[in-house]
Structure 1
Amino acid sequence: MRILLWRALWLLCFAVLWSDTEAQLRYTIPEELKGESIVGNVAKDLGLDLSEISNRKLRIASESGKQYFSLNLRNGELLVNDIIDRETLCGQSSSCVLPVQVIIEDPLQFYRVDVDIQDINDNSPIFLSEVNTIEVPESTLTGARFRLEPAQDPDAGTNSLRTYALNKNENFVMNIKTDKDGTKVPEIIVEKAVDREKQSVYHLILTGIDGGDPARSGTTQISVKVLDANDNAPVFEHELYELKVMESTVPGTMILTVKAVDLDDGVNGEVEYSFAAHTPDIIQNWFAINPVTGELVVSKHLDYETSTSYKIDIRARDKGSLAMEGHCRIQVNVLDVNDNAPEIIITSSPKPVREDAPAGTMVALINVKDLDSGVNGNVTLSMSPGTSFKLKSTFSNHYALVTDSQLDREKFPRYNIELKASDSGSPPLVSSKLITVNILDVNDNPPVFSERVYSVYIKENSAPGSILASVTASDLDTGENSKIVYSVLDTNTQDVPVSSYVYINSENGSIFSMHSFDYEKIKIFHIIVLAKDHGSPPMSSNATVHVFILDQNDNAPAVIYPSTSMGSVAHQRMPRSAKAGHLVTKVTAVDADSGHNAWLFYRFVEATDASLFSVNLHTGEVRTKRAVSEHDDSSQRLLIEIKDNGEPLHSTTVTVDILIEEGLHEPISEYSMKTTENNNKKKSGTIALYLIISLGTVSVLSVLTLFTLVVKCVRSSIGSSSCCIWRTNSEYKNPNRNLQIQLNTDGPIKYVEVLGGDMMSQSQSFGSYLSPMSEFSDLTLVKPSSTTNFTDTLNVLDASLPDSAWTFESQQVSGSTPSPDIMLKTITHRPETKCTALAAMYLTTEYNLECYTF
C-alpha cells in the first residue's frame, strides 16, 4: 500500500518545467505509470485551442524506435502509452530523459518535449547467489577481513543500495567498505579467533538494504568454513586499477597485468589469477585473464556506444591445501573512436511547394544524430548548392528546410536536394540522403502565339465555312493553367462586327469564314484573336490576322459611253462628207474587277456595212475605214462586244445606230486635220516620253505608298491604331465638293484633282495620263459626249470620297481636235488629316478608296 501511495503522490505532483536545455517543454513523471496516464497537456502548454488540434494536424514522434507516449487528439493531453521501466531504459544513470517531438503540420511547426523519468523504489537489493561460502583458516587472527559478494540494486539515487546488516554472532562482525567508484562492498571481520575443533562451519545471514522509503532489502546466506594451516592470503599491489582503452582496440591485445604477492612458501605461495566468483558473463565474454601471468586481454571488439566502462573483479588464490585468496578491482574506461557515421532523419517529409511561395517558407523538418560522443558526435548538416532552398537551424541537431529565393516551376519543376551530414571526428565520417521537393504550378505565364501577326490570302466568292487560317498559342504552365481557349475580339470592319465575317474554333484556333467575300466590296480586314488560359486569375494575349481578299473575274464589263439610259440602242450622227479615219464615236466601258481581269477588248459582232467602220481593239474608238459615199445607207447599225481578260471570260454588247446626214460638216477642215495630225504625231513622241516618266514616277510612288501603308498597318495591330478601308456606292447628292476638272474642246475629262478640304487647304495631287495599253495600270479611258454628261461621273466620285466641300470647275481648251485619252488615277496626300489615300478611280457607279489612318 505504501508503494502505491508513493506512485500516486508522484503522479499528482509532477509539473511542466521550462529548462535551459534545448526542449521547449519539459515534464517529469515517475516510472511504472499505467497506460493512459496523463503526462501533461501539450496543446494547452503550446497555446493551441482545441479546434486547432485537428485543424492543424497536431501529432507526436519519438526519436527512439519505440513509442512510449501517445497524444489525445480530443484535448491535446500527452499520455503514457505503455509502462516505462526506468531501469531497463536508463540503467542506474542519474538522468533519464525521453525526448518527444511535437509536430504541427499546417502550417509546419516543430517543438521538442523532454519527459524526465523519475526513479521509484521498485527493486529490492538482490544477491546473485543464495549461499556464499567463505573459507577461514583457523589460524586467522582477529581483525582479518573477508570480502563478501555485494548486492545489486537496479534503482538509482537514494533508492539504490544503502547499507548491509549481518545477523548477530560471537565471532564475526560486519564492515562496509566503499570503493573509489562509490560501490559499497560488505566485509566480515574476525572479531574472535575461530577454533575448527569447536565449530567448523558458521551460518550467517547478510542483508542488503536500500535507501528507499519504505526501504527494501534482500538477503543471502554466508557459510563460513574454518580451514586449517595456510594462513597468508595473496595481496595485490593495488586494490583498484584504472585504465583507459580505445574502443578500436584489436581483440587479443593485452591491456593490463595485475600482480598479487603471497608471503607463504611453496605451493601455499603460488598464486593463480581468475575472475572473481559471480563475474557477469558480459565481462567474461569481452575480457580474459592469464591465470599464471595475470595479463588482462581484450577478447572482442569493444563498443563505446554499448558500454563506456567495465568493472572487473580479479581474484588471486594460492595453491595451499587451505587456499587463501586476495581480490582487486580493475576499472576499464572505454574511449570513444569516430566509428559511427551521422544519421539523417527526415522528421517531416517535404510537401509540394507553390512556385509563388515567399522566401522562408518551411518545406521539411530534418534531425541529425551521431552515436559517438564529444567532437566525434558533433554533426554539421549541409545541402547541395545551386538550389532555391537553405537549411535553417532551429536548435541543436534540428534543422528546417526553407525556401531561399523565388521559385520558377517552368525552369525547375522539382528539386533533388542532397543532404550531407559530417561529424567532427578525425577523419570525419559523412552520410547523405536525397530528398525531392516538387514545385506546384501557378498561373504566371500568358499564352504566347507562334506568330505575332498572321497574313492570310483568300479568293473572293469562296464557299462559306472555308478555313482561313489556324493560329497556335502555347502556355508554359501546366494543368488547367495551360489549357487555352481561343476567341475573336469583336472589332468593326466597315461598321460591321468582324464576328459576322468569321468564327473560330475555341479549342484549336482554326478560323472559318461565315460567308463568301466580294473583293469589290472589301479587300482586307483584320481579326484580333485572343488566347486565354484557364488559370485563376486567367492570363491572355492576342495576335492579329490580316485577311487579304484576292480578286476573281466575277464582273462583266459595264458600258458607260455611249449612254443607253433612254433605250437599248445608242444613237450617233455623222456627216456624209466624212473621210477615212473620221472618229464616229468612242465606246467606253469599265470592269469592276482589278488587274488583268479589268483589261477590256472591243470588236464588232455585227455591222450593217463592215467595210465602212472599224473599232480599235483597245480604245473602243469607232472610225471610218473609207470615205462615205452617196451609195451608203444613211442608217448604219453596229453591234460591239466588249470582253475582259479574266478567267472565265466575261463580255457585254452595245448597239450603236449611226445616222449619216447631209449638211453636217466636220468642225475642222481636212487640211487642218492633217496639220493637226502631223502636230499630234510630233507631240506624241514627247507625250510618250512624258508618259513613260510619269508612269515610272507613279509606280515608284505607288510602291512606296503601299509599302508604307502595309508597315503602318502591321504596326497598328501592335500599337492599337486603326486601319480602315472604305468603299461606298452612292448617287451624287452633294454638289458642294471641291473638284477641279480640265476638259478638252469636245468635252472629255483631261485632268481630275481631288482636294481633302476647302480650296485653301494643303494638298498634293498626282495625275497620270496613261493608256489602257499599259499592262501596269488598271485605268480606264472615258470620253463623255458632252460636259453636261459628267454629272453621272460626279455621282460616282462623290459617293467614294470623304465628306468635304466640292467645287466643280470646267475649263475649255482651244482646239478642234478631240483628245483621244484622259487621266484616270489620282493619289492625294492630306497632311491635315494624317491620312494617305490611294484612289484608283474608275468613272463608273463604283469607286475604290483605301484609307489607312494611324
Structure 2
Amino acid sequence: MPLNTTYLELQVSIKKRHILAIVVINLSFMERRQLLQLVLLHTAWLMGGGQLHYSVPEESQHGTFVGRIAQDLGLEVEELVPRMFQMVSKGQEDYFEVNIQNGILFVNSRIDREELCAQSPMCTIHLEMIVDKPLKIFHAEVEIRDINDNAPIFPVNEHQLFILESRLPGSYFPLEGASDADIGSNGLLTYILSPNYYFQLREEKHGNLSKSLALVLQNALDREKFSVHHLLLIATDGGLPELTGTVQLKITVLDANDNVPVFNQSVYEVHLPENITEGTSLLTLTAYDLDEGTNKEIVYSFSNMMPSHVRHIFSIDSNTGEIKMKGKIDFEDINLFELQVEAADQGSYSMVGHCKVLIQVLDVNDNAPELSVTSLSVPIPEDSSVGTVVALMSVSDRDAGINAQVSCSLWPSGIPFKLVSTFKNYYSLVLAEPLDREQVAEYRLSVIIQDEGTPSLSGTNSLLVPIGDINDNAPAFVQSSYTVFVKENNPPGAHIFTVSASDPDVAENSLVSYWIDEKLWPLSSYISVHSESGKLYALQPLDYEKLKLLEFEVRAKDAGLPSLCGNVTIQVFVVDENDNAPDVSRAAEAPILLVVPVTAGHIVGKIHALDADSGYNAWLCYELHGGSSSSWRVGLYSGEISTTHALDEAESIGSSMILLVLVRDHGKPVLSVTATLSISLVASTQAVQADVRLPRMGGSLKPVEDITNIFLIIAICSVSSLFLLAVIVYVALRCRSQLKDAAMYAPGTATLVCASEVGSWSYSQRHSRNLGCMAGEAGVKSDLMVFSPHIPIFAVNPGVGNGKELDPHLSGEVSYVKTLRSL
C-alpha cells in the first residue's frame, strides 16, 4: 500500500509511487528510521497548521478508508457519542461520513473531481467536526486526487480544411486541439497524426495559458493528383492507463487564391474588470492579405468551434474586426475566456487566417460578505460562566484577494458577549460578562461583517439569544409584617386575610405555595392558609375573652430546585364584641347592719360587678332601680352605696329595707344585670355595749338584744375566717400563675383593664397578668375589673374594719365583695 497521503501531500504518479516503494524496501534499517522521522516531522508540521489534511482519489467507492480522524484529532473513540460528535461539510454534499464506532473517516458517496472543481489544480473539501461538553470545532481538508477517468475530446468529429494548391511547403494551418477534463499528468495531451507524405503536426506552447496545434505542409500539393486528403489526428493523455480521442481531418485542395489573410499577432491578451458594461470595445483585430481584388477583402468572425455561451458574451464586427462586450461576465464564474477568431478573404475559394484572443477577467468587490451560523446553543442559562460558547459562525466572501478579507464586529455595544476568532474566517460568540435574566430576559444582537475592498461591502446577521432562568430569587412579600383585626364570634372557616408573595423568576421557579410556621405553638386548630391562593381562614370562632392575639409566620416557597423561601409575620388581633353581660356575685343572706345616727353622704357599702368584655363593652355604670328608697343613692361608676340625708335613731331603729341596683355596660346592644342589697338599721354602739355589760352589774338581758349580739359575734368570726382563707388561696394561685407564665407562651393570656370614674381606660402590657390596679383599691374611689377566669379578687371597704370574700360565680370571671361594718 502506498504511503499514507493523509500526512504526506505527494502528488506523484503511480509509477513514481512504485519506484518509491521499491526504494523504501531496499533502504537499510537506519535509513528507514530516518525516513520515518521525516514523515512524523512533516505530519506534526501539518497538524500545527490548525487543521488535518487527507487525500482520496476521485470515483472512490462507498466505504473507502480516508483516515483515522478521531485518533488524529486526539479524541477517544468512546467519547464520540457522549460528546455528540458531528461532521459538517460546508457547502458540499455529504461525500464523507465518520463511523462513530471506530472513528474512521470514509467515503460516503461518489465524488467527481471534474464536476466538483472543474480545472482547478487543487480540489479540496472542507470538513468541520463539532463536539460538545465542552463545545469545540475542528477543521479538516480532504484533497480529491485526480484519476484518469476522462478521455481527450475534440470539439467535432470531423474537421474540414480547404488548402490552395499554391500554398508553399512550410505553410501551417491551425487546428483545434482536444480537451481533457482531468488535470496534471492525466490531462497532459500528446498528439499523433496518421502517417502521410504532405502534412506534419506541430505543437507550440504559449506560456502556461494555452497550447497551439497546427498542420504544417511538408510538400507541395497537386490538386489534380489528390484533391482530398483524409487524415486521423489522435490525442493521448498521460494517465495510466492511457486514454485517447480522435478527429477526422478532411483536407480539400483548392486552386487559385493562394494567399491567406494573416493577423499581425497570432495571440492577443486582454485584461478587463468583471463589472465592464455592455457595448464596451475590447480591441480591434487587424489582418492583411497579399492578394488583390476580392481575394484581399477580409471578413472577421468567430470560429464555429467556439462554445455558444461565449458567443453570447462577446461580439465581433465582421468588417472592422472590433470585439465588443455583448453580455455580462462574472469573475466568480469564469475568469478566463479564449476566443478563436477567423479572417476570411472574399476569393472564390476563401482563404482563412486564424488568431487567438485570451481575455483575463479581473475581480472587483461586487460580492458582500456572508455569515452563516453553524451552531447556536440557546437559551443560555443565566448562571453560565464567562467564556461559555454561545454560537459558532463562519464568514465567506466570493471575491478574491483583498476583496475577500473580512472583519467582524458586534452591535450594539455594551452587551455581555464578544466575538473570538478561532480559525481563519471562523468565529465564536462567547459570554463576556455575567447574566441576570431578571434584568434582561433576552438579547437581540447583530453581527456586522465588512470586507476590505474598495468600496467596502458589508452584511448583517441578527441573532436572538434568550436567557434561561434559574431559581435565584426567593419569594418576597410587600411588607415584612401585617396586622389583621378580626371580630370575635366569627363563623368557622371565615376568610380573614390574604397574603401574596411575588417571585421574579419564571415557570416553576415562580410558582409560590404558602404554609404556616408552627415552631412556637401549634396553630392548626385556629388558622389555616390556602397553599395556592395565600388566603387565611379562621377554622373556629374566636373568643376575645380567651384569645386576644395570634402571632405567627406565613412562609412562601417556590417550586424551583432547590426551592427558596420567604416569610412574613401576621398579627391577628381579636376585636371584642358585647357578648357578655355584667356579672355581680350574690351576697350572703346576712343583711348589712348600719349603726345610726349617720350623716348625709355616709358610705355604707360598695357593689362590685365585672364584665368579661373590654373597652366600652366592659365600662359599667350603676343606678338604683325604680322603686328603691329615696334615702339612698349609688355612685354612677364606683358602685358605692351612700345615704342621701342624715338618719337618726328615732326614725330608723328596727327598720330594714331592700335596694335594687341595676348594673349595665356601654356596649351595643346594652347588657345589664340587677343586684339586691338588704340594709338593717341598729342603735348606737354605746347603747349596745351598755346592754352587753348588764349581766356583770346584776341586771337582766333582753332576749332580742342577746340574740343580736350572738349574730354579730358569729358574723365577725366568719368574715375573719373567710378573709384568711382568701389570702391563702390568692397566694397559692398567684404563685401557680407565675410558674405557668414562665413555662409556656399561649394565646388567651389575661389582659388587665382599669376604669376610673370619668370613664378613661388603659390596657396592661400584652401577655402578662398585672394586678397592680388592686393595690389602688385601698382608696375610696378606686374600682377593679380583672379579665381573668383564674384569679380570685378581694375588695376591701375602707369604711369598715373587716371584710369578706364573696362566693365566686361558676364562670370564675367576677368577684363581688360585700362589706360589713362592725358595731
Which of 398, 408, 421 in structure 2 is aligned with 1:381? Answer: 408
- Which residue in the other structure is 2:29 paired with? none
- Which residue in the other structure is 2:252 paired with? 225
Q: 1:174 to 1:629 in 2, by over 3 A?
A: same
Matches within 5 A, 1:32-431: 32-105=59-132, 107-385=134-412, 386-431=414-459
Q: Does 1:549 align with 2:568?
A: no
Which of 757, 762, 766 in structure 2 is aligned with 1:772? Answer: 757
Task: Measure, in 2, the Cα distance between the counterparts of 1:412 and 1:237.
Answer: 75
Matches within 5 A, 1:465-476: 465-476=493-504
Task: Measure, in 2, the Cα distance between the counterparts of 1:321 and 1:508.
Answer: 110
Instruction: Kindly indicate whether the alpha-carbon contact (under 8 Å) linking 1:793 and 1:843 is maintained by their aligned counterparts in 2.
Output: no
- Which residue in the other structure is 1:621 paired with? 640
Where structure 1 has 5 or more consecutive residues not aligned to the other structure, the ranges are 668-729, 738-767, 802-809, 820-841, 847-854
- Which residue in the other structure is 1:528 paired with? 553
- Which residue in the other structure is 1:435 paired with? 463
Q: 1:798 to 1:85 in 2, by over 3 A?
A: closer
- Which residue in the other structure is 1:710 paired with? none
Secondary structure in 1 aligned to 2:80? helix
Q: Does 1:655 align with 2:676?
A: yes
Instruction: Kindly indicate whether the alpha-carbon contact (under 8 Å) linking 1:238 and 1:328 is maintained by their aligned counterparts in 2.
Output: yes
Deviation digits for residues 678-705 of structure 1 (CA, Å, limit 9, x no counterpart): xxxxxxxxxxxxxxxxxxxxxxxxxxxx
- Which residue in the other structure is 2:666 paired with? 645
What fraction of aligned residue pairs are identical, expressed as a percent? 38
- Which residue in the other structure is 1:755 paired with? none
Report the AA paired with residue 530 of structure 2: N
Give the Å deviation of 1:505. 1.1
- Which residue in the other structure is 2:482 paired with? 454
Give the Å deviation of 1:665. 6.5
Report the AA paired with residue 577 of structure 1: P
Give the Å deviation of 1:659. 2.6
Deviation digits for residues 495-528 of structure 1 (CA, Å, limit 9, x no counterpart): x434443111111111122333333344323121
Give the Å deviation of 1:629. 5.0
Report the AA paired with residue 146 of structure 1: F
Task: Measure, in 2, the Cα distance between the counterparts of 1:81 and 1:335.
Answer: 37
Which of 576, 582, 604 in structure 1 is aligned with 2:602? Answer: 582
Q: 1:392 to 1:413 in 2, by over 3 A?
A: same
Task: Measure, in 1, the Cα distance between the counterparts of 2:178 and 2:67.
Answer: 37
- Which residue in the other structure is 1:733 paired with? 732
Q: 1:297 to 1:362 in 2, by over 3 A?
A: same
Q: 1:293 to 1:335 in 2, by over 3 A?
A: same
Task: Measure, in 1, the Cα distance between the counterparts of 2:788 and 2:438.
Answer: 60
Q: 1:735 to 1:478 in 2, by over 3 A?
A: closer
Instruction: Kindly indicate whether the alpha-carbon contact (under 8 Å) linking 2:119 and 2:183 is maintained by their aligned counterparts in 1.
Output: yes
Q: 1:785 to 1:414 in 2, by over 3 A?
A: closer
Instruction: Kindly indicate whether the alpha-carbon contact (under 8 Å) linking 1:553 and 1:648 is maintained by their aligned counterparts in 2.
Output: yes
Q: Does 1:511 align with 2:510?
A: no
Task: Measure, in 1, the Cα distance between the counterparts of 2:477 and 2:261.
Answer: 102
Task: Measure, in 1, the Cα distance between the counterparts of 2:248 and 2:308.
Answer: 23
Instruction: Kindly indicate whether the alpha-carbon contact (under 8 Å) linking 1:272 and 1:318 is maintained by their aligned counterparts in 2.
Output: yes
Secondary structure in 1 aligned to 2:196? coil
Instruction: Kindly indicate whether the alpha-carbon contact (under 8 Å) linking 1:161 and 1:208 is maintained by their aligned counterparts in 2.
Output: no
Where structure 2 has 5 or more consecutive residues not aligned to the other structure, the ranges are 1-12, 22-38, 689-728, 737-752, 765-771, 802-811, 817-823
Deviation digits for residues 101-123 of structure 1 (CA, Å, limit 9, x no counterpart): 22335543322221101111112
Report the AA paired with residue 773 of structure 1: V
Task: Measure, in 2, the Cα distance between the counterparts of 1:364 and 1:784.
Answer: 85
Report the AA paired with residue 271 of structure 2: K
Instruction: Kindly indicate whether the alpha-carbon contact (under 8 Å) linking 2:289 and 2:296 is maintained by their aligned counterparts in 1.
Output: yes
- Which residue in the other structure is 2:624 paired with? 604
Report the AA paired with residue 297 of structure 1: K
Give the Å deviation of 1:89. 1.6
Instruction: Kindly indicate whether the alpha-carbon contact (under 8 Å) linking 1:604 and 1:640 is maintained by their aligned counterparts in 2.
Output: yes
Q: 1:845 to 1:111 in 2, by over 3 A?
A: farther
Secondary structure in 1 aligned to 2:650? coil
Report the AA paired with residue 98 of structure 1: I
Instruction: Kindly indicate whether the alpha-carbon contact (under 8 Å) linking 2:622 and 2:634 is maintained by their aligned counterparts in 1.
Output: yes
Q: 1:551 to 1:324 in 2, by over 3 A?
A: same
Secondary structure in 2 aligned to 1:733? helix
Report the AA paired with residue 660 of structure 1: L
Which of 575, 583, 592 in structure 2 is aligned with 1:572? Answer: 592
Task: Measure, in 2, the Cα distance between the counterparts of 1:25 and 1:458.
Answer: 80
Report the AA paired with residue 143 of structure 2: D
Instruction: Kindly indicate whether the alpha-carbon contact (under 8 Å) linking 2:161 and 2:251 is maintained by their aligned counterparts in 1.
Output: yes
- Which residue in the other structure is 1:724 paired with? none
Deviation digits for residues 639-675 of structure 1 (CA, Å, limit 9, x no counterpart): 32322222233333333332321132799xxxxxxxx
Report the AA paired with residue 772 of structure 1: E
Task: Measure, in 2, the Cα distance between the counterparts of 1:20 and 1:122.
Answer: 32
Task: Measure, in 1, the Cα distance between the counterparts of 2:154 and 2:619.
Answer: 132
Give the Å deviation of 1:478. 1.1
TM-score, normalised to structure 1, is 0.75
- Which residue in the other structure is 1:593 paired with? 613
Task: Measure, in 1, the Cα distance between the counterparts of 2:676 and 2:799.
Answer: 26
Task: Measure, in 1, the Cα distance between the counterparts of 2:152 and 2:754.
Answer: 134
Give the Å deviation of 1:456. 0.5
Q: 1:461 to 1:297 in 2, by over 3 A?
A: same
Q: 1:155 to 1:845 in 2, by over 3 A?
A: farther
Task: Measure, in 2, the Cα distance between the counterparts of 1:253 and 1:625.
Answer: 140
Give the Å deviation of 1:159. 1.0
Q: 1:236 to 1:482 in 2, by over 3 A?
A: same
Deviation digits for residues 337-392 of structure 1 (CA, Å, limit 9, x no counterpart): 22222222221244321111112212222222121112222222333214332222
Secondary structure in 1 aligned to 2:438? coil
Secondary structure in 1 aligned to 2:657? strand
Moved more, 79-88 or 254-263: 79-88
Task: Measure, in 2, the Cα distance between the counterparts of 1:611 and 1:545.
Answer: 56
Secondary structure in 2 aligned to 1:480? helix
Instruction: Kindly indicate whether the alpha-carbon contact (under 8 Å) linking 1:575 and 1:666 is maintained by their aligned counterparts in 2.
Output: no
Deviation digits for residues 732-752 of structure 1 (CA, Å, limit 9, x no counterpart): 228999xxxxxxxxxxxxxxx
Matches within 5 A, 1:695-710: none
Q: 1:551 to 1:734 in 2, by over 3 A?
A: closer
Give the Å deviation of 1:23. 5.8
Q: 1:574 to 1:234 in 2, by over 3 A?
A: same
TM-score, normalised to structure 2, is 0.78
Secondary structure in 2 aligned to 1:54? coil
Q: Does 1:635 align with 2:653?
A: no
Task: Measure, in 2, the Cα distance between the counterparts of 1:209 and 1:285.
Answer: 32
Report the AA paired with residue 118 of structure 1: R
